[in-house]
Amino acid sequence: MKICAYGLACLLVLLPLAGFAQSFLSPCQAIARAERHFREKGIDTAGQHIQNLRRHYDSERRMLYWEINWAWDTARLGMEHSARVFADGQVEWRRLGP
């Protein structure tokens, strides 16, 4: 009886997580969405490369997101870009530096 209850409890915890894992974007999908968003907005990332890609959790929206940071190929100050790509596909971007 205890094993059956334990198994049922595990299923109740793991099933929602399995569906959530499938709905979350892969790093490649997140980068593609961010680059498409930049093209649509007319933001030029020429001369920049992806410096950082991290996964975070937004407690207000209660969802995971990818944070992608671009950096210059040569030493420059400012005008670098950052994008947040949320699990639902929404993209927010901001300019970094002065």
pLDDT one-digit tens code per residue, 22-39: 468 999 999 999 999 999
Contacts of 41 (CB under 8 A, 6+ apart): 93
User: For all residues of the chain together, what is the average pLDDT?
Assistant: 82
CA distances from 35 to 20, 68, 83 (A): 24, 10, 9
Q: Where along the chain do its domains lie? A: 24-96
Can you give the pLDDT at residue 97?
78
User: Is the pTM of the predicted complex or chain greater than 0.85?
Assistant: no
Q: Report the pLDDT value the prediction gives residue 15, as an integer from 0 to 100.
A: 46
86 near 67, Cβ under 8 Å? Answer: no
What pLDDT, in 10s, does the model give residues 39-66?
999 988 899 999 999 999 999 999 999 9
84 vs 66: CA distance, rounded Å: 6
